[in-house]
Each structure stands twice: as C-alpha cells, then as structure tokens.
Amino acid sequence: MDMNYEKMIAVNRIESEQKIKLATMAIEQLIERGEYPSVTLLVKKTGLSRGFFYKNPEVRSRLDAALQSPSVSCRRIWSGSKDSKNDNTEALQMEIMEYKVRNRSLSQENEELRGQIEELKVQVEKLKGRIKKKELSMLKKL
C-alpha cells in the first residue's frame, strides 16, 4: 500500500507542477500581448480555479509581480484581438497542454488501478486456497 500512496503523491506533484507551468505560461502570454493579467481572464484561459491563482504561492507571487511591473500597469487594460489566428493558435496550444496534463494523470491512474487488480488477483488465489483447505477438512470429518 505504501507504493500506491507514494505513486499518488508523485502523480499529484506532477499535476501540480504542470498546473503551475500552465498558469505561469498564461500569465506570460497575457503580458506579452499587452493584456492585463486578471484572475478572471486567467481562469477562462486555463480552466484552473480562482482559488488556485490566489492560494498557490508560486503562481500568486508571479501574478503579483506581473501586476506590479510597469509594463502591465502602463499598458491598455482593454485589449482587442490583433490577429485572430494567433489568438486561436494560443488557445489551441493551451487546450493541448491541458489535455496532456489530463492524459498523464489518467495514465498514472490506470497504472495504479492495474496494480490494484494484480493485488486483488493474489488475494483471490489465497482465498481459493483457503476454501479448498476448508472443503478438504470438511470431507475428512465425514
């Protein structure tokens, strides 16, 4: 059971790192395009929760730093789409990244479930052996 717990922790750590990477990448993209990196916009762009942007210290510090930078505060807050193809490409890249994160987590969950199946098979075999012993002892009593 310790191995499964360790795997779960490793999976959670990897997912967390990928979410942090996704969030910081979204912040950087907004800054590069001259958009104001609001939490609402980041939630829409990444699909991550509002709480993630406020509670995760690494993402929070990056967001605070971005908001404090003069390039963001001096730029226009309203931003129109300069090139819809670029916007679409970036959105698709973000979606791909989200799907990769989801795929990795599902693959690791799949591995864990396969391990549990193997453990259950071993338990079933042990129980079958016990049942056979019980049947033999009952037959001997007759």
**Which residues, in sequence order, are CB contacts of 40 under 8 Å at separation 6+?**
50
CA–CA gap between residue 125 and residue 57 (Å, rounded): 49
Examine the pLDDT at 76 and tell me if it is beyond 60.
no
Answer whether 94's CB lies under 8 Å from 46's CB: yes
52's CB contacts (< 8 A; 6+ apart) are: 19, 23, 59
pLDDT number for residue 84: 61
Instruction: Summarize pLDDT for 13-30 with one digit per residue, the tens.
Output: 999 899 999 999 999 888
Residue 73 has pLDDT above 70, yes or no: no
pLDDT of residue 79: 45
pLDDT value, residue 77 = 41
